[in-house]
Amino acid sequence: MRMFRKRFHLILITIVYSLFTYSCTTVDPPKDIIDEEVDTNVESSAYTIHFNIEKQTILGLGVEIQSDRFGPNYEPSDPINGIPYDLIPSERTRLATDLASGFRYLRIAMGLWFRGVTDDQKNFVERYPGQLDLIKEMMEQANMEGISLEYWSPSPYWKSTYNLLGGTLRSYDDQFLDEFGDALARDVQYFIDNGVKVSTWGLQNEPFNGDGGYPMCFYTDENYFKTFKAVAPKIRAVSPETEIIVDTKNANFGALGNMIRNDPTIPQYVDSWVYHRSGNPSESVIEGAERYLKETLGKPVYQNEWAFNGVQVKTIDEEWRMVDLAQSIMNWMTFVNSPKWYWLHLLKPTNDPNRFGFGLGFYRRDDDNNFSQHADIAKGTFKYHWPNYNGIAGFMKYMEWDSKRIHVQEDSIRYDQRIMAWRKPDGKHVFVMTNRSSEKFDFVINLDKARSFVGHRYNRDFVDYQLPTVSGKSSYTIRLEPYSIEFWTEEDDLSSVMSETSSLFKANRTGNAVSIEGMQIGEIIEIYHLNGQLINRIIADAEKVNVPLTTNDIVLVKTKTQTIKI
């Protein structure tokens, strides 16, 4: 182990190291390097957190749910699949309390994943019994606020194709659009009547698409503007608190933005401008910030669909993608002052060709019998996909809703090393740092006064691995390992943290179980796969406990103050 300036750090790291060598695995533990002697071989940069300079309110993160299936025909007779429907009851609960917990908004794709239609084909309803109740139950268990209701296609009556696939609206005359607006307002009311808050509403997902083999509706800029002008006031009337977004294409920067700005009656109905820049490298946000912030009319700007496409999955390293995902969140919020950020899918099926780039995890449908792929995922269950999940998980845990971003002054703006800081509603502070490179990097963090922080590391092997506390100084040098993300959370009292940390446990594999010694009765023990999937959670009823295992893989054993890899 490297030498630390402070004896506390040396003692703590020695203890952690000895515990890891106790385990039966040959995998090296992570090296927790804080306030080391200067190493001229490690690149560094200085960052000053200005606690007195507040920026935007961070409202939270959103995600889409695939509650129905792709095709085959987009007719009422299509087979039924989707989540939570396809999951067994215990996995539905785990989906809500583990994977979805931390998201504020659930994106509902009208006409695609939510596509049941009324008898007159003018409105959407659930396509199979219980679809909406299952969504609502998951949201309640995950403590989500509401949905983002966005159209992939209007219902068939309004389409030029009389179908969810392809086409555009049948007409753009005033009477037709007036009736169309009434229908879309009824869709909003349908969710409200069923106890689901409509937090956000969007006229059309990617209006520049018209025929892609799944439900779409093509709008020219002129037709979108005319439709929005007729419909948006009706949405505002039926649900005044609902955020109305425009338009996932070029938003404020494009021709549509000019039309909206030139009509004094319309800007009052635009609450946010949204973009789809899925999979673009995180530095593209830095380079494009001036364009994104051009003539916004004082409205927020954010992206509401982000994932990796198939080419990126095949050609870009998984660890790089994991960190780049985290940096996308940070860069949109830092350079565009975005209040929100959306990932694409909670889960994708094990037979979906886009699953590796789109899903935070994979689940197996009952009709998928191909166990040559994802043999470890049983029917009705799901597993986390670490390159995506590990990149976002820390934000869901440590970036609380309604936090205030605070300004960080950077000596130089680096594309591979990013930083962001915020003040939580309880007044405590958090800063997150990333290292999207194959070399270690030192962050020299300057504060306004002496403060104490506890670190939490996320990388390909660890989810929320707790690092030693830093305390008693107003400046720290924190070394990030290659391809890692670290969240540093402010603590009030270092002595209490040190006291908790001093009672460390030991863990060892014994057959099909983990034997854990040194526990406090009532302490929670969690065991995870390296990809973040929870295997077991128990409450210690003795100082020594045995936790059954059903895997021979390396696992993480976690308590509140310690993580061991065995």
Q: pLDDT per residue over 231-276, tens digit each? A: 999 999 999 999 999 998 888 988 999 999 999 999 999 999 999 9
The residue-averaged pLDDT of 433-444 equals 98
Could you tell me if 487 and 394 are in contact, meaning their C-beta atoms sit under 8 angstroms apart?
Answer: yes
Mean pLDDT is lowest, of 162-176, 183-197, 313-327, 531-545, for: 531-545
Amino acid (1-letter code) at residue 245: I
Say if strands 243-248 and 272-275 run parallel, antiparallel, or are unpaired: parallel
Confidence of residue 37 (pLDDT cuts 50, 70, 90): low
The residue-averaged pLDDT of 363-387 equals 97
Higher pLDDT, 60 or 210: 60
Higher pLDDT, 191 or 500: 191
Beta strands in 152-276 (DSSP E): 198-202, 243-248, 272-275
What is the per-residue pLDDT for 555?
82
Give yes or no for residue 190 having a pLDDT over 60.
yes
What is the per-residue pLDDT for 34?
56
Give yes or no for residue 4 having a pLDDT over 70.
no
Residue 339 CA, chain-centre distance (Å), reads 13
What is the per-residue pLDDT for 497?
41
Q: pLDDT per residue over 485-511, tens digit each? A: 999 999 985 444 434 444 578 888 877
Question: For all residues of the chain together, what is the average pLDDT?
Answer: 90
Q: Which long-range contacts (CB under 8 A, 24 or more apart) does 264-269 make?
A: 265/229, 266/225, 266/228, 266/229, 266/232, 267/297, 267/299, 269/228, 269/232, 269/233, 269/235, 269/236, 269/244
What is the per-residue pLDDT for 56?
98
Confidence of residue 24 (pLDDT cuts 50, 70, 90): very low
Give yes or no for residue 10 having a pLDDT over 50.
no
Q: pLDDT per residue over 135-158, tens digit each? A: 999 999 999 999 999 999 999 999
Percentage with pLDDT > 90 across the chain: 77
Q: pLDDT per residue over 394-437, tens digit each? A: 999 999 999 999 999 999 999 999 999 999 999 999 999 999 99
The residue-averaged pLDDT of 162-183 equals 97
What is the per-residue pLDDT for 3?
37
Say if strands 116-117 and 124-125 run parallel, antiparallel, or are unpaired: antiparallel
What is the per-residue pLDDT for 522?
81
Higher pLDDT, 354 or 550: 354
- Rounded CA gap, 522 and 391, in Å? 31
What is the per-residue pLDDT for 441?
98
What is the per-residue pLDDT for 173?
98
Percentage with pLDDT > 70 across the chain: 90
Higher pLDDT, 178 or 539: 178
Mean pLDDT is lowest, of 2-11, 209-218, 257-266, for: 2-11
- Rounded CA gap, 276 and 208, in Å? 12
The residue-averaged pLDDT of 69-89 equals 96
What is the per-residue pLDDT for 35?
53
Q: pLDDT per residue over 327-362, tens digit each? A: 999 999 999 999 999 999 999 999 999 999 999 999
Closest CA to 357 of 385, 379, 376: 385
Confidence of residue 14 (pLDDT cuts 50, 70, 90): very low
Give yes or no for residue 19 having a pLDDT over 60.
no
Sign of CA dihedral 320, 321, 322, 326: positive
What is the per-residue pLDDT for 440?
98
Higher pLDDT, 565 or 243: 243
Burial of 236 from C-beta contacts in 10 A (0-12 / 13-18 / 19+): middle
What is the per-residue pLDDT for 38?
56
Higher pLDDT, 13 or 266: 266
First vs last C-alpha separation in the chain: 20
The residue-averaged pLDDT of 189-202 equals 98
Residues 6+ positions from 251 with CB-CB distance below 8 Å: 257, 273, 274, 275, 301
The residue-averaged pLDDT of 283-306 equals 97
Token pair recorded at residue 466: 């707790």
